[in-house]
């Protein structure tokens, strides 16, 4: 045999072996479940500011449906089906208790403002009147963007901005610092080099510009103007991100946005707070520098259109219920000469104080809620994405909600009460709908002695009632071949704890238990499979599969669930 | 003597056919190569042959060929951490060349030794005969075996040299394995993601936005629409005519204003698709006396020359026949001003004074001329047009919700493109026309315009009502010119009838419209217009009303009508209407 043929043969064999093992891969790796996605690995050297146009974004998402519209399993979750910390999201209230102080503070530092400001620049974009200014009592001369409330609805937009920021920060998103401040018009000054951009280009910012803004601003009883002061990071502002695709300048951005759990699930948060203006234009990407390396950080910003506010006026009745352009209702209305009436049109006008705008829990359907126009990430939201978000929503207690609403500093106690009550009721709706959208088994552990403990997220938050029981099936699991070897018979328990059958824990580094929750009201719940890995001191919970993609069915499945539209397959 | 094509190949036979050619004299004669060249070729022939054998064997092996091709390709490794495709690595190539060369030399040396040993076997006469024949055979066989082994070793060495050359440096060895053998399987989830990120980092290609997106971004960032239609100063496009019943109009304009728009001077020239035109110089002062009250007083002064090339006239009266169509051309010059006060945000009073100089001429149209079909008795003012002095006062109570800041509105000239969903507007104007030349055509005109909007279903359905009355009276011996008479018919009043279809001294028009929003950008409407012109107020009778009806679609935000398309019936025939803004 020729020497070269021997060499070649050996290499081919080696190639085949490597190809085989690399293509399949074990189900679990040594570092599973990951708690942090290290998406700051590659130094971002080509970042550039990506600007988006309002109208183009609306037209593109309304008519072209960009992105991958498939309800596949979210691609950035860990093996426990949770979202790891990353430059997109930091687990906060979802994984730990947050004090009221922490909830209310949000992303803010302990900053106090005076009422004497100097205008340095006009505000050239956005719907809300405002300008950029420096607090003369601030030695750091930090520039803030100030925005005002509409005269007919004092505190509406500014309150929504602050409250929305606090909520989204608690969810886990990156937001920007947002403060409430007061401006004394009599002490307002204009910096010599202040400028504004109008139809004729850049020009000096003059008193008339300021007068126009103040003319369209609500006044406080003392004559001052209440504003939001938003901290802008202009030097490292890299523009926006879209709810589909990836940023073409970020090598670390490997997960299509429409398949990121935290973006899909943000539909639930947006529905809760009626953030109908959630879109790419209300996002921000900043460049962060750490130890000589750069990475991009992704933010959700601009909450002036949450709750009952549409920034310059209250929400229209349509918002949250129907897209700006929705074909079927439009045609029905046209050819019926307006006699076709959408269900949301029949809802009564909520009797709310001016500072609230239009916001209530009446007619709120979490599954049917829509933003102003479609986006791929929202369209792709599945039941497991919504379940993840609903668990976070459920962790907000009534007291926490009231505290966050109070941070809006509404002068009318009725506004606080109305807002908080509506948010609480909407939270409960979300719990009812999404905590029962999937088999709600979470937080499973296996003790060294073989005691299994798990939690029913729906039951924990008093949703859905008590199930009849849990059917458990144990098996040994081969991590390399991804196969199960059943051990023992099915065991039905009524409590959220049970012991593994004898023999299942020996002879294998991995075991799994299939938990079928039997609930009369939810016969379509798919069994959940949980995986444990042997460690030096016991068992580590390493994986959770909700079965939405595995074709698992409940033995008792009968009807198509009403959440099938948002479901997995 | 034999002819050969390749002396090198023939010379290489010294290796392969050594026994045959040994001690033979070979006479070389040739025209292509010089003698020194021929000697060199012959000397190197065995070596080249050996090398060819080696590399030929490698070429037949596709794996080795791939390795060789890779070494010769631009692919190379820099730090063993990442791939740098299409980049030449001279260090790698030098090492490959060196080792291959050494391998070739070593292989050649072994080949020469083998040849010498083979030659030595032929000189068996130096060996003992007879009794040592068997020993000699064994010796020769041993030598040949050793020779074969040496040759094979030379081949193997050359192959190994290739492989060794490719993997000479640690990083390069890794790379070779990565080409022929993928990298070792990742051990952690983090490694998988890291590999993906590294690969993405190598292939990042920032994309440029498409033409449409770039254009829209430029429009927004540079505020080009504002620049085109409503700049603070400079040239722009003026859209619309401030005349009742005017069709779509646009034209160039130039504006001068200070940064605060304390004043605005505008020069414009506008023409419509119905051949109406306007040339105007105007100064607007939105806050005329700031010391007496911020934004309390307003004023404007203007000089304009306007006209309508083809005005149709069917005669005065509600019963004018559509067959009596005539046309005339009307131009007029107006010099005047307004001074007003905003008493409250919803109530204003303004006084006006103007000098009006109309002129009627024969139209260039092929339609019968008004001057031919009518005379002074049937069309007062037809023969001569005086200069008028026109003072007036207007009271405007407007509490519609379409006013800023509650609803968005894009105002192009004074056309109301925003949509009111509730509230009302009540406007009363008293004007007096003083004939300065003939003392025949002086009259007084009172215009009462009442509009009311009733919202249904949160304003997504609106019932809009309008009552418009234009009443005139004259003193004894005076008559109202026909061209200044109120009219019924056109884009906004009496839809379904041609513009200015009915003229007389008095007008009463009632309009009702049911507007329903289809979505955030499109709305539709069903409307009814009914009205009458009459010579005296007492002659107005419901039985004489002309009624039209129709439906339409409007494009604009939140029920607004930036563009309006109506289809009206019941007039002189189905009429298609294209307009800017709602009818009222």
pLDDT digits over A158-185, tens only? 999 999 999 999 999 999 999 999 999 9
How high is the mean pLDDT of chain A?
A: 91
Three-state SS letters, A500-546: CCCCCCCCCCEEEEEEEEECCCCCCCCCEEEEEEEECCEEEEEEEEC
Q: Say if residue B294's pLDDT is above 80.
A: yes
End-to-end CA distance of chain A: 55
Give the residue-averaged pLDDT of A274-279.
Answer: 96
Measure in Å the smallest separation between the Cα of A118 and chain B Cα atoms.
Answer: 19
Residue closest to A450 by CA, chosen among A500, A493, A487, A507: A500
Three-state SS letters, A88-139: CECCCCCCCCCCHHHHHHCCCCCCCCCCCEEEEEECCCCCCCEEEEEECCCC
Residue among A85, A147, A199, A246 with most chain B CBs within 10 A, to mutate: A199
Q: Say if residue A101's pLDDT is above 90.
A: yes
C-alpha dihedral, B525 to B528 to B529 to B531, nearest 10°: -160
Q: Would you say B359 and B331 are in contact if contact means Cβ atoms under 8 Å apart?
A: yes
| A325·B205 Cβ contact <8 A | no
The Cα–Cα gap between A78 and B192 comes to 13
Q: Would you say B58 and B72 are in contact if contact means Cβ atoms under 8 Å apart?
A: no
Q: Would you say A557 and A466 are in contact if contact means Cβ atoms under 8 Å apart?
A: no
What pLDDT score was predicted for residue B266?
Answer: 96
Q: Say if residue A60's pLDDT is above 70.
A: yes
Q: Would you say B384 and B438 are in contact if contact means Cβ atoms under 8 Å apart?
A: yes
Q: Would you say B266 and B254 are in contact if contact means Cβ atoms under 8 Å apart?
A: yes
Residue closest to B461 by CA, chosen among B520, B403, B517, B526: B517
Distance (Å) of CA A569 to CA A381, A564, A565 = 12, 8, 9
Q: DSSP string covering B351-363, please?
A: EEEEEEEEEEEE-
Read off φ and ψ for residue B76, nearest 5 degrees. Answer: -165, 170
Mapping DSSP to helix (H, G, I), strand (E, B) and coil, where does residue B406 land?
A: coil
- For residue A132, the Cα-to-chain-centroid distance in whole angstroms is 29
Q: Say if residue B406's pLDDT is above 50.
A: no
Residue numbers in B near A338 (CB within 8 A):
461, 514, 516, 524
Q: Say if residue B142's pLDDT is above 80.
A: no
What pLDDT score was predicted for residue B246?
Answer: 75
Q: Is B460 on the interface with A (CB under 8 A)?
A: yes
C-alpha dihedral, B236 to B562 to B307 to B376, nearest 10°: -170
Residues 6+ away with beta carbon under 8 Å from A6: none
Give the residue-averaged pLDDT of A110-135.
Answer: 89
Give the residue-averaged pLDDT of A266-294.
Answer: 95
Least confident of A13-27, A46-60, A282-296, B14-28: A13-27
Measure in Å the smallest separation between the Cα of B352 and chain A Cα atoms.
Answer: 27
Q: Say if residue A377's pLDDT is above 60.
A: yes
Q: Say if residue A374's pLDDT is above 70.
A: yes
Give the residue-averaged pLDDT of A520-527.
Answer: 95
CATH 2.115.10 describes domain A441-545: no
Q: Which residue has the higher pLDDT, B243 or A228?
A: A228
Read off φ and ψ for residue A317, nearest 5 degrees. Answer: -60, -30
Q: Would you say B217 and B209 are in contact if contact means Cβ atoms under 8 Å apart?
A: yes
Give the residue-averaged pLDDT of B276-303.
Answer: 93
Structure confidence by residue, pLDDT tens digits, B149-193? 665 665 555 555 444 444 333 333 333 333 334 457 888 999 999
Structure confidence by residue, pLDDT tens digits, A357-371? 999 999 999 999 999
Measure in Å the smallest separation between the Cα of A105 and chain B Cα atoms.
Answer: 32
Angle of CA points A445, A450, A456, to nearest 5°: 35
Burial A99-119 (b: 16+ CB within 10 A, else e): eeeebbbbbbeeeebebbbbb
Distance (Å) of CA A253 to CA A248, A297, B129 = 8, 10, 86
Every domain of chain A and the residues it spans: 41-101+243-296+304-434, 105-236, 441-545
B 379-398 residues inside an 8 A Cβ radius of A: none
Residue whose entry in the numeric block shows the structure tokens 């072994």: B110
Q: Say if residue B511's pLDDT is above 60.
A: yes
What pLDDT score was predicted for residue B140?
Answer: 59
The Cα–Cα gap between A549 and B5 comes to 73
Token pair recorded at residue B480: 């109202």
What pLDDT score was predicted for residue A563?
Answer: 37
Q: Would you say B434 and B478 are in contact if contact means Cβ atoms under 8 Å apart?
A: no
Measure in Å the smallest separation between the Cα of B393 and chain A Cα atoms.
Answer: 28
What pLDDT score was predicted for residue B254?
Answer: 97
Structure confidence by residue, pLDDT tens digits, B85-105? 333 344 555 555 565 566 556
Q: Name the helix (H) or strand (E) containing B120.
A: helix B90-122
Which band of pLDDT confidence, cut at 50, 70 and 90, is reported for residue B82? Answer: very low
Residue among A11, A50, A56 with most chain B CBs within 10 A, to mutate: A56
Residue closest to B235 by CA, chosen among B258, B253, B223, B251: B253
DSSP A333: H
Angle of CA points B507, B511, B514, to nearest 5°: 175
Token pair recorded at residue B263: 């004043």
Which band of pLDDT confidence, cut at 50, 70 and 90, is reported for residue A199? Answer: confident
Q: Is B519 on the interface with A (CB under 8 A)?
A: yes
Residue whose entry in the numeric block shows the structure tokens 């292939």: B203
| A208·B262 Cβ contact <8 A | yes
Residue numbers in B near A330 (CB within 8 A):
518-519, 522
Residues 6+ away with beta carbon under 8 Å from B254: B234, B235, B236, B266, B267, B268
The Cα–Cα gap between A543 and A531 comes to 5
What residues form DSSP beta bridges with A405?
none
Mapping DSSP to helix (H, G, I), strand (E, B) and coil, where does residue B427 land?
A: strand
What pLDDT score was predicted for residue B519?
Answer: 93
The Cα–Cα gap between B335 and B305 comes to 9
The Cα–Cα gap between B87 and A60 comes to 40
DSSP A60: I
In A44-99, alpha helices (H): 54-59
Measure in Å the smallest separation between the Cα of B575 and chain A Cα atoms.
Answer: 20
Residue of A nearest to B516 (CA): A338
Distance (Å) of CA A399 to CA A100, A178, A421, A433 = 8, 22, 11, 22
Structure confidence by residue, pLDDT tens digits, B431-471? 999 999 999 999 999 999 999 999 999 999 999 999 999 99
Which band of pLDDT confidence, cut at 50, 70 and 90, is reported for residue B401? Answer: confident
Give the residue-averaged pLDDT of B553-567.
Answer: 90
| A41·B197 Cβ contact <8 A | yes
| A29·B519 Cβ contact <8 A | no
What pLDDT score was predicted for residue B103?
Answer: 57
Q: Is B432 on the interface with A (CB under 8 A)?
A: no
Q: Say if residue B125's pLDDT is above 90.
A: no
Q: Would you say B551 and B527 are in contact if contact means Cβ atoms under 8 Å apart?
A: yes
Q: Would you say B264 and B283 are in contact if contact means Cβ atoms under 8 Å apart?
A: yes
How high is the mean pLDDT of chain B?
A: 78
Structure confidence by residue, pLDDT tens digits, B512-545? 999 999 999 999 999 999 999 999 999 999 999 9
Residues B190-195: contacts with CB within 8 Å, 24+ apart?
B190/A31, B190/A34, B190/A38, B192/A25, B192/A29, B193/A37, B193/A38, B193/A39, B193/A41, B193/A254, B194/A38, B194/A41
Q: Would you say A82 and A392 are in contact if contact means Cβ atoms under 8 Å apart?
A: no
Query: How much is the CA Rg of chain B, to the nearest whole Å?
Result: 51
Q: Which of A32, A216, A330 sits opposite B518 (nearest CB)?
A: A330
What pLDDT score was predicted for residue B295?
Answer: 85
Q: Say if residue B26's pLDDT is above 70.
A: no
Q: Name the helix (H) or strand (E) containing A490.
A: strand A483-493
Give the residue-averaged pLDDT of A108-126.
Answer: 90
Q: Is B181 on the interface with A (CB under 8 A)?
A: yes
| A207·B180 Cβ contact <8 A | no
Q: Name the helix (H) or strand (E) containing B430.
A: strand B423-435
Which band of pLDDT confidence, cut at 50, 70 and 90, is reported for residue A565? Answer: very low
Residue numbers in A near B262 (CB within 8 A):
208
Q: Is B201 on the interface with A (CB under 8 A)?
A: yes
DSSP A12: H
């Amino acid at each position: 045999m020729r020497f070269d043929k021997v060499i070649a043969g050996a290499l081919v064999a080696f190639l085949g072996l490597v190809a085989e093992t690399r293509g399949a891969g074990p189900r679990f790796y040594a570092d599973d479940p990951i708690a942090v996605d290290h998406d700051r690995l590659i130094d971002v050297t080509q970042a550039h500011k990506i600007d988006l146009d309002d109208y183009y974004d609306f037209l593109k998402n309304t008519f072209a449906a960009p992105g991958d519209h498939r309800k596949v399993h979210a691609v950035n979750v860990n093996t426990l089906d949770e979202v790891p910390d990353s430059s997109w999201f930091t687990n906060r209230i979802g994984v730990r208790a947050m004090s009221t102080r922490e909830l209310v503070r949000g992303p803010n530092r302990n900053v106090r403002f005076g009422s004497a400001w100097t205008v340095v620049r006009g505000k050239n974009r956005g719907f809300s009147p405002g300008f950029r200014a420096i607090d003369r009592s601030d030695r750091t001369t930090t520039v803030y963007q100030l925005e005002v409330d509409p005269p007919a609805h004092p505190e509406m937009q500014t309150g929504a901005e602050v409250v929305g920021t606090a909520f989204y920060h608690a969810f886990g998103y990156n937001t920007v610092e947002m403060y409430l401040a007061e401006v004394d018009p009599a002490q307002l000054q204009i910096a010599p080099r202040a400028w504004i951009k109008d139809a004729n280009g850049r020009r000096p910012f003059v008193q008339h510009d300021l007068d126009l803004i103040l003319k369209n601003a609500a006044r406080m009883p003392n004559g001052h103007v209440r504003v939001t002061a938003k901290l802008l990071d202009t030097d490292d502002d890299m523009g926006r991100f879209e709810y589909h695709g990836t940023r073409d300048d970020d090598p670390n951005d490997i997960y299509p946005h429409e398949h990121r759990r935290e973006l899909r699930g943000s539909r639930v948060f947006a529905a809760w707070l009626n953030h109908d203006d959630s879109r790419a234009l209300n996002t921000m990407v900043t460049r962060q520098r750490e130890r000589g390396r750069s990475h991009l950080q992704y933010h959700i910003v601009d909450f002036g259109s949450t709750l009952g506010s549409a920034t310059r006026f209250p929400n229209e009745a349509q918002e949250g219920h129907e897209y700006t352009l929705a074909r079927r209702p439009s045609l029905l209305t046209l050819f019926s000469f307006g006699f076709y009436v959408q269900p949301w049109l029949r809802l009564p006008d909520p009797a709310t104080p001016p500072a609230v705008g239009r916001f209530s829990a009446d007619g709120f359907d979490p599954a049917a809620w829509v933003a102003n126009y479609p986006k791929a990430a929202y369209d792709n939201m599945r039941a497991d994405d919504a379940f993840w978000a609903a668990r976070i929503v459920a962790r907000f207690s009534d007291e926490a909600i009231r505290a966050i609403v109070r941070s809006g500093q509404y002068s009318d106690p009725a506004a606080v009460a109305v807002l908080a009550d509506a948010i609480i009721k909407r939270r409960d709706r979300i719990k009812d709908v999404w905590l029962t959208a999937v088999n709600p088994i979470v937080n499973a552990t296996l003790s060294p002695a073989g005691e299994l403990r798990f939690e029913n997220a729906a039951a924990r938050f008093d949703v859905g009632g008590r199930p009849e029981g849990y059917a458990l099936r144990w098996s040994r699991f081969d991590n390399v071949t991804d196969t199960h070897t059943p051990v023992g018979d099915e065991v039905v328990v009524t409590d959220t704890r049970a012991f593994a059958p004898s023999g299942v824990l020996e002879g294998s580094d991995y075991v799994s238990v299939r938990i079928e929750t039997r609930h009369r009201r939810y016969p379509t719940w798919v069994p959940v499979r949980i995986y444990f890995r042997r460690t030096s001191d016991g068992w580590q919970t390493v994986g959770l599969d909700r079965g939405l993609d595995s074709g698992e069915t409940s033995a008792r499945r009968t009807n198509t669930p009403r959440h099938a539209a948002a479901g997995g397959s | 003597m034999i002819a050969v094509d390749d002396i090198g190949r023939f010379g290489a036979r010294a290796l392969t056919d050594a026994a045959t050619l040994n001690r033979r004299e070979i006479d070389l004669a040739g025209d292509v190569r010089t003698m020194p060249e021929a000697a060199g070729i012959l000397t190197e022939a065995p070596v080249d042959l050996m090398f060819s054998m080696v590399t030929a064997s490698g070429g037949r092996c596709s794996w080795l060929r791939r390795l060789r091709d890779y070494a010769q390709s631009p692919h190379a490794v820099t730090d063993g951490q990442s791939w740098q495709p299409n980049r030449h690595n001279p260090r790698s190539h030098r090492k490959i060349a060196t080792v291959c060369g050494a391998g070739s030399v070593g292989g050649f040396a072994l080949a020469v030794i083998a040849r010498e040993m083979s030659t030595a076997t032929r000189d068996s006469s130096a060996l003992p005969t007879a009794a040592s024949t068997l020993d000699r055979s064994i010796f020769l066989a041993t030598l040949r075996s050793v020779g074969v082994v040496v040759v094979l070793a030379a081949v193997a060495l050359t192959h190994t040299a290739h492989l060794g050359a490719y993997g000479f440096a640690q990083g390069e060895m890794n790379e070779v394995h990565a080409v022929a053998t993928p990298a070792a399987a990742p051990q952690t989830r983090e490694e998988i993601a890291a590999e993906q990120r590294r690969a993405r980092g190598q292939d990042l290609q920032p994309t440029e936005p498409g033409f449409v997106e770039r254009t829209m971004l430029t429009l927004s960032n540079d505020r080009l629409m504002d620049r085109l239609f409503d700049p603070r100063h400079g040239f722009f496009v003026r859209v619309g005519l401030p005349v009742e019943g005017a069709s779509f109009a646009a034209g160039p304009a130039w504006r001068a204003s200070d940064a605060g728009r304390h004043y605005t001077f505008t020069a414009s020239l506008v023409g419509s698709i119905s051949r109406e035109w306007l040339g105007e110089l105007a100064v607007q002062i939105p806050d005329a006396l700031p010391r007496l009250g911020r934004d309390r007083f307003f004023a404007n002064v203007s000089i304009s020359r306007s006209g309508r090339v083809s005005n149709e006239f069917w005669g005065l009266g509600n019963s004018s026949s559509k067959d009596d169509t005539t046309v005339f051309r009307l131009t007029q010059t107006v010099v005047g001003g307004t001074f007003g006060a905003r008493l409250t945000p919803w109530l204003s009073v303004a006084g006006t004074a103007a000098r009006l100089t109309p002129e009627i001429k024969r139209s260039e149209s092929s339609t019968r001329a008004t001057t031919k079909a009518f005379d002074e008795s049937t069309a007062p003012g037809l023969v001569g047009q005086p200069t008028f002095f026109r003072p007036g006062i207007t009271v405007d109570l407007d509490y519609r919700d379409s006013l800023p800041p509650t609803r968005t509105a894009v105002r192009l000239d004074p056309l109301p493109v925003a949509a009111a969903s509730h509230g009302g507007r009540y406007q009363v104007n008293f004007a007096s026309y003083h004939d300065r030349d003939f003392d025949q055509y002086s009259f007084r005109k009172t215009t009462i315009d009442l509009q009311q909007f009733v919202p249904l279903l949160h304003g997504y359905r609106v019932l809009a009502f309008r009552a418009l009355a234009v009443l005139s009276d004259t003193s004894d011996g005076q008559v109202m010119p026909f061209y200044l008479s109120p009219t019924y018919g056109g884009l906004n009043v009496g839809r379904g009838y041609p513009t200015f279809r009915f003229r007389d001294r008095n007008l009463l028009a009632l309009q009702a419209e049911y507007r329903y929003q289809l979505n955030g950008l499109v709305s539709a409407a069903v409307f009814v217009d009914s009205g009458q012109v009459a010579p005296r107020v007492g002659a107005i009778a419901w039985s004489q009303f002309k009624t039209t009806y129709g439906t339409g679609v409007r494009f604009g935000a939140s029920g607004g009508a930036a563009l309006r398309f109506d289809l009206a019936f019941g007039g002189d025939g189905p009429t298609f209407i294209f307009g800017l803004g709602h009818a009222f």
